Structure 1
Amino acid sequence: MVRIKVRGGEAYGFQTVSNFMRAGDYDNTFMNKYGDALVATEKKMKLPDHYLQGTGVQVPKLNFLGDDDFGRDPMTRGQPRPRPEPLHPHPGHQRRRLRRQRPSTRTFRRPVIPTDPAPAQTPPNTSAMASVRGRRIRTAAAALATVGTLLLTAGCGGGGRDYTLPKNVCGTRIDPGLLSDFMPDGETVKAQPTGQSIWYCKVFVDKAQVFRTQDAVTTVDTDPLKVKERELTREGNPVRVPGPGEKGVVTDMGAMAVSRCSVKGKQHVFVSEIDLFAERPDNTADRRKALKAFMKAYHPRAMAHHGCTAT
């Protein structure tokens, strides 16, 4: 697979082309040939599982269409959409035309039921009618005033969180108070875990993504902070801080922690990240402080959750 030099690193040809074709409709024959060539090339290269998404590969962000996918894996991300099959594939097929049914012109006469002659009407009591009309107006006015008060109260005190702050992030225990600064008002909260060798956890409030965590195990000769240097810079003002892990970095929109650990007696490096999708809290200093506090508590628990023993 051809390597192409781009800003921030290098990318394989299929990685770049798949992101070019992320949007649009393409001929099915072309898509089949493209997919077969991609599969054949990856088999020939004998890449390990999730290699193109790993922290040990310095590949920049290739997707800029607005979602949280970096577009690094041409097999699972950034796949273009094949052209849909025609609704009626047979050339001689014609749509049936629906005939409108004319309304029936036949009429039915209601039978006449004999009634007694109407009794003589007495003149209405106008004073009684005025009293009843006045009571109805006063009742309606009181009801409208009550509804207006309720609507005003609801408008002033509306919003807020109708959900309970989670006590874990996709299985990693966390103090709910450490999530409070990041979580907006809403009705429901949902955590969606993805990945195997790299563990992602996407947290949503009312279907809007709030933040994402990422945990991974890499080799001891890899420096994740150096690999992620450009991404951290794009998040704004990366500063190394003590506390979260053996090495820690806090940016305006995220944080990262790195620690050595042992898996089945072998030395590895465990990496934890958090990326925010909204500037919450509004104050940048408060946001950075909240990110550092979260990562300091989250990183060792995530490491234990994924079976990496601190050394």
Structure 2
Amino acid sequence: MNVRGRRGLSLMAGLVVLLAGCAGGAEREYAVPKTVCGVPVEESAVSPLLPPGPDLIEHKDSLSKERGHCSITVNHDGVISVTFSRVDRDYDPMDESQSYKFRNRQRVTELPFPGRGAIGDDTIMITAKCGGGGPAYLIIDVLVRKGIEADAAPKRAEFRKFAEEYTAGAKKIIGCAV
């Protein structure tokens, strides 16, 4: 190989290393939160929903006994949004009145607490029995901006794990008896 060929090869190798270094920047520079919207959540439940980036910011109302909203941004982009409210009525997430919340809605069965659920590409809604004084039901709506279009089954499982863990934790914090 001549000198010109070796220089070209060296330049190409250097460019590959440089580009690999830039692509390798896709890491989390923030700590995965131990709580989401004031509710303790295992890192393994929330981590799969969070993208890489330099900063994570939580924007939240204080966790009240009646209703609240919270969102998490990474790199100033909305990633997770959680809304909860205590209501007297048992809203069925599969009812037509709730269909506007979902794309590709499917029923969630076998929740770890009394209630009903539905999951879509980027939304999950859980209506859980609450009791303990106050309205009888707790509704949790979770929206993830990541979407679940690719590898739907594993991503829905990750999304569901987070929503179930969040709902169980919220029920404890707000004093649900059921």
TM-score for the superposition, normalised by structure 1: 0.46
Q: 152, 162, 170: which is aligned to 1:284?
A: 152
Please state whether the residue corresponding to 2:171 is helix, strand or coil: helix
What is the CA–CA distance in structure 1 between the aligned matches of 2:153 and 2:135, rounded to whole Å?
Answer: 36
CA distance in 1, matches of 2:26, 2:19: 13
In structure 2, do the counterparts of structure 1 residues 276 and 267 end up closer, same or farther at CA, with 3 Å as the change threshold? Answer: closer
Structure 1 residues 228, 192: closer, same or farther in 2, change over 3 A?
A: farther
Helix, strand or coil: the match of 1:204?
strand
Q: Which runs of 5+ in 2 are unaligned?
A: 1-10
SS at match of 1:258: strand
Partner amino acid, structure 1, of 2:131 = S
Q: What's 2:109 paired with?
A: 241
RMSD value, Cα: 2.6
Please give the alpha-carbon distance, in whole angstroms, between the structure 2 residues aligned to 1:279 and 1:202.
Answer: 16
Ranges in structure 1 where 5+ consecutive residues have no aligned partner: 1-144
Number of residue-to-residue matches in the alignment: 161
Which secondary structure does the structure 1 equivalent of 2:57 belong to? Answer: strand
- Give yes or no for contact 2:30–2:54 (8 Å, CA) kept in 1: yes
Cα deviation for residue 155 of structure 1 reads: 2.7
Encode CA deviations 1:8-57: one digit per residue, 9 max, x unaligned: xxxxxxxxxxxxxxxxxxxxxxxxxxxxxxxxxxxxxxxxxxxxxxxxxx
Counting aligned pairs with the same residue, the percent is 19
Q: Report 1:113-128 matches (<5 A).
A: none
Is the counterpart of residue 157 in structure 1 residue 34 in structure 2? no
How far 1:308 moved relative to its partner?
3.0
CA displacement at 1:290 relative to structure 2: 1.0
Asked if structure 1 preserves the Cα contact closer than 8 Å seen for 2:71 and 2:78, the reply is: yes
Contact 2:90 2:127 survives alignment (8 Å): no
After superposition, the Cα gap between the structure-2 partners of 1:230 and 1:187, relative to the gap in structure 1 and judged at 3 Å, is same
- Letter in structure 2 aligned against 1:159: A
Give, as a single letter, the amino acid of the residue that structure 2 aligns with 1:303: K
> What CA distance in whole angstroms lies between the structure 2 residues aligned with 1:253 and 1:152?
32
The answer for the alignment partner of 2:8 in structure 1 is none
- Greater fraction of residues in strand: 2
Q: Whose radius of gyration is greater, 1 or 2?
A: 1
8 Å CA contact 1:244, 1:297 repeated in 2:
no
